[in-house]
Amino acid sequence: MEISKIRNFSIIAHIDHGKSTLADRIIEICGGMDDRTKKDQVLDSMEIERERGITIKAQTVRLNYKNKKGDEYQLNILDTPGHVDFSYEVSRSLSACEGSVLVVDSTQGVEAQTLANAYQAIDVNHEILPVLNKADLPASEPERVKEDIEQTIGIDTSEAHLVSAKTGLGVEDLLDQIVEKLPSPNTNEKNLKALLVDSWYDNYLGVTVLVRVLDGVMKKGMKVKFLSNNQQYNIDRIGYFTPEINYCDELGPGEIGFINASIKSVADCKVGDTIAELNDEKIKPLPGFKPSLPVVFCGIYPVDTSDYERLKESFEKLALNDSSFTYENETSAALGYGFRCGFLGLLHLEVTTERLRREFDLDLITTAPGVVYKVIDRNKNEIVIRNPSELPDPAEIDKILEPWVKSTIIVPQDYLGTVITLCIEKRGKQKNLNIQNNRAILEMELPLNEIVIDFYDKLKSYSKGYASFDYQVYDYFEGDLVKLNILVNSETVDAFSNIVHKTRAETIGRRICNKLKDLIPRQNFQIPIQAAIYGKIIARETIKAFRKDVTAKLYGGDVSRKKKLLEKQKKGKKRMKQFGNVEIPQTAFFEALKIGDQD
């Protein structure tokens, strides 16, 4: 098809504003699915995506559309993830298109992720088409939402479309507007240059790579190279999704499709990489490429230690489909053999552990999530810390740097005070505040380790579910951080170790000790539970021993007989405490690691 008849666009929106449903309606109108193959969220292939109503992996579909004048167009839709954890995938998907359809829920208005995705689209010079979804609902307020979009994003909404993705209302008119308003791709050179948009593993074909051809033609049998790692491959299969798989012989400039080239590992296919012809030495990599780096780390252990090998196998299978997920072996005195895993964020962690439980039928213990710290030692060397146990001796530390994030919180004005209080509790710094139409847009800087555990849940409960939150990691700053150790019967339990801010160490330590006091069963000897910073005890709870009444058999007689028996019992308990081991039950790990901020 000639390049002027091609339209590449992505659908961007906040979570749950209806972008996958809109994609369904467009596919249905263009004949991409019939009543037999019809299902909701056709582009969301994973069970968790469909169940939670979220998009995790970018998906693409090619459709043929005939407008009212009878002209035929090729539409390539990219359905992008909506969550902040996958913002890099969103930026790469956007760079594969020329335009964006910005979907805003007409009952809710602009949310934090709407803002973040719209700015990303503006950064790559997209033509943006605003669309107000859920227009069939009685609570829909199109005029207020249009004003919201104009004031917060600065896009003209005089021609914004009112649609209902669920019923199909206004979708055909939207397609005509897409064809008219969004630009066609342009090409400058004859040499092949393609962008790697995404990749996933197939048991039979190896890695399937989603590509957008920018210049030249990609043909079956062609030898290509990936510029980031200089790997060379021979293209075996080439095709596109409608959303069914369709094979073809070539992809021309401006087209989006997939290739199979006997690639064994997803790790070799980095999102945002440039693909060129093997012998082409002049080609330059596309700008904006960066390897994905994990932001949040946590330990994952099997509840039953005999499941270790199964867990290892399931990690290997999972890593085949998710190159941003990293893992390495780790052992813990309390939990046995397991893995230290790296994730893009909390949703990524949650989805991965859910998939392990569901797809591989594993019972898991996950330790409290932590972030990557940087330690500058006395010799000015930089050490990267992913696990509290890696922290060097305090005498060797010059300073500890922690990651900070720039965040945008959009909240109704009524809840602004409580949200600012929450951010200040989490050591946040307010940078900006705008109030529009009874909604506040709050810009805060926050330390990442304060938001990884329970910040999002608290934000939702403080604002009765109305607040929306978006963040991006931007730099490392020095912090007054200490390593908090928990000792049970004078022995350190490494699974509870954590790096915390000095001002909050005592509160967190006291809370964990309190929880463990209720969770660890009583023994025949007294068990001290202590929280310590570098050997200094800052909190303590004691589990009382069971008491056997050794004087019950006495009836009368001298008091010295009673004292003698009690003294003998005391010595026995002392010896028992010296040699006795305290078994911490698995439930104690589950509960104590959910420390959050609640008592």
Kindly report, residue by residue over 336-363, the tens digit of the pLDDT.
788 888 888 777 888 888 888 888 888 8
pLDDT value of residue 331: 82
pLDDT value of residue 586: 62
Q: How many CB atoms lie within 10 A of CB 315?
A: 20
Question: In this model, does residue 577 exceed pLDDT 70?
Answer: no
Task: For residues 512-519, give the mean pLDDT.
Answer: 85
Question: In this model, does residue 412 exceed pLDDT 70?
Answer: yes
Task: For residues 441-458, give the mean pLDDT.
Answer: 83
DSSP track, 157-186 = -TTPEE-BTTTTBTHHHHHHHHHHHSPPP-
Question: In this model, does residue 512 exceed pLDDT 60?
Answer: yes
Best-predicted range by mean pLDDT among 194-208, 248-262, 544-558?
248-262
15-24, 388-397, 504-513: segment of lowest average pLDDT: 15-24
Query: Which tops the pLDDT comparison, 421 or 389?
Result: 421
Measured CA angle at 148 (ends 76, 175), to 5 deg: 25
Query: Which tops the pLDDT comparison, 232 or 53?
Result: 232
Please compute Rg for the chain using Cα positions.
Answer: 29
pLDDT value of residue 599: 41
Percent of the chain topping pLDDT 90: 1
Question: In this model, does residue 143 exceed pLDDT 80?
Answer: yes
Distance CA 87, CA 89 (A): 5
Query: Which tops the pLDDT comparison, 89 or 45?
Result: 89
Question: In this model, does residue 596 exceed pLDDT 50?
Answer: no
Q: What are the structural domains of the chain?
A: 3-181 (3.40.50.300), 193-277 (2.40.30.10), 296-367 (3.30.70.870), 374-479 (3.30.70.240), 483-592 (3.30.70.2570)
Q: How many CB atoms lie within 10 A of CB 203?
A: 7
Query: Which of 340, 353, 338 has its CA nearest to residue 308?
Result: 338
Given pLDDT bands bounded at 50, 70 and 90, which one contains residue 45?
very low
Query: Which tops the pLDDT comparison, 371 or 590?
Result: 371
Q: Which helix (H) or strand (E) holds 26?
A: helix 19-29
Amino acid letter, residue 569? Q
Task: For residues 78-87, give the mean pLDDT.
Answer: 68
pLDDT value of residue 95: 82
pLDDT value of residue 593: 59
N-terminal to C-terminal alpha carbon distance within the chain: 64
Percent of the chain topping pLDDT 70: 88
Task: For residues 82-90, give the mean pLDDT.
Answer: 67
* Whole-structure pTM value: 0.71
57-61, 71-75, 99-103, 446-450: segment of lowest average pLDDT: 57-61
pLDDT value of residue 369: 80
| Mean of all residue pLDDT scores within the chain | 81
Task: For residues 579-595, give the mean pLDDT.
Answer: 63
Distance of CA 490 to the CA centre of its chain: 37
Query: Which tops the pLDDT comparison, 161 or 580?
Result: 161
pLDDT value of residue 347: 77
Note whether 133 and 22 are within 8 A (CB): yes
Query: Which tops the pLDDT comparison, 594 or 150?
Result: 150
Q: Which two tokens stand for residue 359?
A: 């797809």
Distance CA 518, CA 548 (A): 21
Task: For residues 393-413, give the mean pLDDT.
Answer: 87
Q: Which two tokens stand for residue 559?
A: 């008091």
β pairing state of 218-219 and 274-277: unpaired
Give the pLDDT confidence of 204-259 residue by residue, as tens digits: 888 888 888 988 888 888 898 888 888 888 999 999 888 788 888 888 888 889 99
